[in-house]
Structure 1
């Protein structure tokens, strides 16, 4: 299946899905989320594919966030639908996929980009990568699982700090936090991930699938529904309108807390 924003290649049982919107730093819009869902599902349905690697095109960004201009005028209902549909189509689907998914973070992974990486079963970062959830600087909260998966991976306190400050962390900090498993030079990133994939492929795919299900079950809660509601409600605030307008106008936001 041909896609506009996603490139899929396969090699020796490894499927590589590359988000390809270089002029937008691979930002996630609704079309790209749908294409990623289709591409990853197709690989999962192919018995010859044993491991999936997700990465971004170029050397700057894995995914530098969501395409803010696309939703800057949304209301509460539209915001909640955006989060709910995105989680269902892509982020929850990736987390629960029977085929192992490795996120190869080749640059900026911000907002929805970090949320996509966190939905993968584990992460490898290039040494130039930077990660963060800057949504509160737009008057939003993370809406694609960020408030749930980040504390699961790095602990509540660090997740609270990252989300409330909207700060970015380096690849080395992410490794220290446990957010990524490995940090490697950028030119070696994909080959390093292929090396891990080769080790995975020596083992039982049925057992691996069952292990994924069992591990994910230990984190099940109602937090995602709470996040979806909070994300949607953010679209009814003046701070959201100010945050997204300031972003589009390339100026600093002035929030009123309303």
Structure 2
């Protein structure tokens, strides 16, 4: 992972695993959680931006080469609940958060993006909650967060279809908020973030963020995310899921 603090007190977190389309493994989990905790303890940080290295992928979800080894419901729940907990911490982080989607955001990559306040994407990217094609639901609490953030019918359109959407289609649905140029996406993404927070102090930004955090706590979002994790864990253990993952891995070789 590449972690940088800018002059504007923005933390830029780059998932640096381009060889596996920036898939999440246990090391990414550890560094993401560590970074979130550092931000919570620093009163001067004004924003948190997450992106992926290169232009091919923002995040392709969980690393199937590692997580496919999890076979039982209990094994799956241990991994899924850990990442779900990290995404809840990201959701309720005290400062504004931005998913700078530089490339494909698929499956768990969309769940990671959903946890952020803003989702801005390079022109030409594809996004999609494709978990249904692997005979499981969203497993990190992404479905719960999506229903909170999008109109009901638009959220379920993305979840039920298990399809990928272009950046423009995703913006029409409400999942993507801004589309960036192909070549200057990083500059435009960071400029967008800087302009958004420039006139407010870190304490003011935190106070505004608390409005949403209080709502999510009152709406029992954490408990609902854990219920979602539990249901996914049950589906994970079924042969239908293992067969679908095996076929996907074979097709990808």
TM over 0.5: yes
TM-score, normalisation: structure 2? 0.90
Q: Separation in 1 of the partners of 2:211 and 2:136?
A: 32
Give the equivalent residue in structure 2 for 1:8.
3
Give the equivalent residue in structure 2 for 1:254.
none
CA-atom RMSD in angstroms:
1.7
Contact 2:46–2:201 at 8 Å: present in 1 too? no
Deviation of 1:214 after TM superposition, in Å, equals 1.4
Contact 2:84–2:226 at 8 Å: present in 1 too? no
Q: Is the counterpart of residue 63 in structure 1 residue 59 in structure 2?
A: yes
Deviation of 1:44 after TM superposition, in Å, equals 4.1
Contact 1:110–1:131 at 8 Å: present in 2 too? yes
Q: 2:74 aligns with which of 72, 77, 83?
A: 77
Give the equivalent residue in structure 1 for 2:194.
198
Matches within 5 A, 1:18-167: 18-74=14-70, 75-88=72-85, 90-167=86-163
Deviation of 1:9 after TM superposition, in Å, equals 1.2
Contact 1:53–1:193 at 8 Å: present in 2 too? no
Give the equivalent residue in structure 2 for 1:248.
249
For structure 1, list consecutive stretches of 5 or more residues without a partner in the other structure.
1-5, 252-258
Q: Separation in 1 of the partners of 2:139 and 2:183?
A: 32
Please state whether the residue corresponding to 1:249 is helix, strand or coil: helix
Deviations 1:139-189 (A, max 9, x none): 211111221122223322232232222100111111111112100113322
Contact 1:139–1:242 at 8 Å: present in 2 too? no
Q: Count the aligned residue pairs.
A: 245
Deviation of 1:105 after TM superposition, in Å, equals 0.4
Q: Separation in 2 of the partners of 1:94 and 1:207?
A: 19
Deviation of 1:249 after TM superposition, in Å, equals 1.6
Q: Separation in 2 of the partners of 1:26 and 1:53?
A: 16
Q: Separation in 2 of the partners of 1:47 and 1:211?
A: 14
Give the equivalent residue in structure 2 for 1:170.
166
Please state whether the residue corresponding to 2:94 is helix, strand or coil: coil
| More deviation, 106-115/45-54 | 45-54
Q: Separation in 1 of the partners of 2:48 and 2:185?
A: 14
